[in-house]
C-alpha cells in the first residue's frame, strides 16, 4: 500500500470526521497519500490537522431531485478523479457510491471500495413513488459497482443478502465489515447518573429513525417519572425529516426534551440510563455501539443493523418496528428494573469489545485495501 493514492468521497465533512477520519489516519500511517472529497461546512480544520488533504465538493447534495444538478455532481466527481488520478477510491453512502462508482469507471480509476452504510429511506418508505425510485437505485448500483476492480463493504448480513441475492454484485466482491467501530478508550463504562431515569434517542431526527414511535411511547409512560430526551436535529437533506414545528410542539407539550445537535457524545450518552433507537432499518448504528461501550442498556427494533448490536434479553431488548406500545413496554421494564439495566449494559460492553472495536474495523478495512490494490484491474480510458 505504500505510496498508493487513496481518495475518500463522502457527502458531508461532519460524517467523514465522525465515521471515517480514524480510518483515513490509519491509511496515511500505512503509507497511503490520503485525500477526501466532501462538502465543507465546519470540520475543514479537523480534517487538515489529521494530515488528510481536503477537496471541497460543491455540487453533491444528499437531497436534490434536480436532474441538471445531479448530472453536475457526477461530472464534478469525474473531473476530480481525472485530475487526482487516485489508485483507490473509497465511496461512502448512496450518492457517492452511485455517482462516484460511475465516475470512477469513466475516469479509469483502477480500484474502488464502495461502502453501503445501510439501505436508507428509499428502502424503508412504503409509497409507490419511493418504491419505483428504489428500483432505479438498484439498477444504478449494478452499473456503478460493475467494474472489475470494485469491492463493496456492507455492515450487516441482511444488506449483503439483498445485494448478492438481488444480483447487484457477486458474493466474492461483497465484504461484511461491521460498522465504523467504536473507540473503546474514549467510550468507557460509566456509572448511571443520579436523578430520574433518562431515556434517550440520539440520532438525526427522522421519522424513519422511529422518532414518532419514541414520542408515542413517552406519552404512554408519562406517569412513570422518567425523562425522554431527543438528541440531534432534523435533517433538511432527508425527506423523512421531522418538521421543526412538530418538534417544537412536542417540547411545548412536555412529552420530550430536545437537547439539539451535540458534538461530544461521550458525556451526552453518559447522562442516559437507557438508550433507544426504534429505527425502521439501519446499516450498523454507531450510537448503539457507543452507548453499549459506556455500559448503557439498549432498546432497539428488530430490524437489520439494530439486531446486529442488540441481542434480545442479553445485550438489550428488541421490539417490533413501528410499534409504540411494545416500545413503551420494553422501556418500562428497564425503567423499573435497575439491576436488569446494569446487567444488560455490562453484557453490551463485552460484546462491543469483542465484535465492534474501532481497532478491529480499521484492521479489516486496511486489509481489504491491500487485497484490492493487489488485484489485477483494467483502466477504462
Q: Write out pLDDT tens, residues 24-63.
A: 999 999 999 999 999 999 999 999 999 999 999 998 887 7
Q: What is the pTM of this model?
A: 0.91
144 has pLDDT over 80: yes
Count other C-beta atoms under 10 Å from residue 127's C-beta. Answer: 8
Q: What is the mean pLDDT of the chain?
A: 93
Altogether, the residues listed in the chain come to a count of: 381
Q: Which residue has the higher pLDDT, 127 or 270?
A: 270
From 220, 226, 157, 144, select the one nearest 193 (Cα to Cα).
Answer: 226
Query: H or E stretch including 17?
Result: helix 13-19
Summarize the confidence of residues 234-239 as an average pLDDT.
Answer: 89
The CA–CA distances, whole Å, from 310 to 120, 125, 175, 305 equal 19, 23, 21, 9
Q: What is the mean pLDDT of residues 181-210?
A: 97
Q: Is the pLDDT of residue 307 over 90?
A: yes
Confidence of residue 380 (pLDDT cuts 50, 70, 90): very low
Q: Does residue 330 or residue 165 have the better pLDDT?
A: 330
The full set of domains in the chain, from first to last, is 5-181+358-374 (3.40.50.2000), 198-355 (3.40.50.2000)
Percent of the chain with pLDDT over 70: 94
Tell me, what's the pLDDT at 121? 52
Position 381 scores a pLDDT of 39
Residue environment code for 49-60, b if the CB has 16+ CB neighbours within 10 A, otherwise e: ebebebbebebb
Amino acid at each position: 500500500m505504500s505510496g498508493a493514492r487513496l481518495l475518500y468521497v463522502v457527502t458531508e465533512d461532519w460524517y467523514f470526521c465522525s465515521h471515517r477520519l480514524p480510518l483515513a489516519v490509519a491509511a496515511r500511517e500505512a503509507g497511503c497519500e490520503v485525500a477526501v472529497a466532501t462538502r465543507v461546512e465546519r470540520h475543514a480544520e479537523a480534517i487538515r490537522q489529521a494530515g488528510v488533504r481536503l477537496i471541497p465538493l460543491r455540487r453533491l447534495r444528499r437531497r436534490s431531485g434536480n436532474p441538471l444538478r445531479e448530472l453536475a455532481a457526477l461530472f464534478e466527481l469525474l473531473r476530480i478523479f481525472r485530475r487526482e488520478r487516485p489508485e483507490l477510491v473509497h465511496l461512502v453512502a448512496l450518492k457517492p457510491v452511485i455517482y462516484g462508482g460511475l465516475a470512477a469507471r469513466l475516469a479509469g480509476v483502477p480500484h474502488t471500495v464502495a461502502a453501503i452504510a445501510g439501505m436508507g429511506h428509499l428502502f424503508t418508505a412504503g409509497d409507490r413513488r419511493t418504491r419505483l425510485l428504489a428500483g432505479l437505485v438498484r439498477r444504478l448500483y449494478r452499473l456503478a459497482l460493475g467494474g472489475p476492480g470494485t469491492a463493496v463493504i456492507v455492515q450487516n448480513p441482511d444488506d449483503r443478502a439483498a445485494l448478492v441475492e438481488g444480483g447487484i454484485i457477486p458474493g466474492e466482491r461483497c465484504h461484511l465489515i461491521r460498522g465504523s467501530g467504536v473507540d473503546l478508550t474514549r467510550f468507557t463504562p460509566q456509572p448511571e447518573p443520579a436523578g430520574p431515569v433518562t431515556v434517550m434517542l440520539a440520532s438525526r431526527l427522522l421519522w424513519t429513525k422511529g422518532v414518532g414511535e419514541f414520542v408515542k411511547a413517552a406519552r404512554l409512560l408519562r406517569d412513570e417519572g422518567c425523562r425522554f430526551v431527543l438528541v440531534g436535529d432534523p435533517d433538511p437533506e432527508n425527506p423523512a425529516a421531522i418538521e421543526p414545528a412538530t418538534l417544537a410542539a412536542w417540547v411545548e407539550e412536555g412529552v420530550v426534551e430536545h437537547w439539539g445537535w451535540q458534538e461530544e457524545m461521550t458525556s451526552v450518552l453518559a447522562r442516559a440510563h437507557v438508550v433507544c433507537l426504534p429505527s425502521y432499518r439501519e446499516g450498523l448504528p454507531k450510537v448503539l455501539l457507543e452507548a453499549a461501550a459506556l455500559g448503557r442498556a439498549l432498546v432497539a427494533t428488530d430490524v437489520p443493523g439494530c439486531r446486529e448490536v442488540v441481542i434480545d434479553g442479553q445485550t438489550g431488548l428488541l421490539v417490533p418496528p413501528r410499534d409504540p406500545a411494545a416500545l413503551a413496554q420494553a422501556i418500562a421494564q428497564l425503567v423499573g428494573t435497575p439491576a436488569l439495566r446494569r446487567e444488560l449494559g455490562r453484557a453490551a460492553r463485552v460484546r462491543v469489545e469483542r465484535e465492534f472495536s474501532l481497532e478491529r474495523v480499521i484492521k479489516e478495512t486496511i486489509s481489504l485495501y491491500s487485497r484490492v490494490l493487489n488485484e489485477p484491474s483494467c483502466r477504462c480510458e
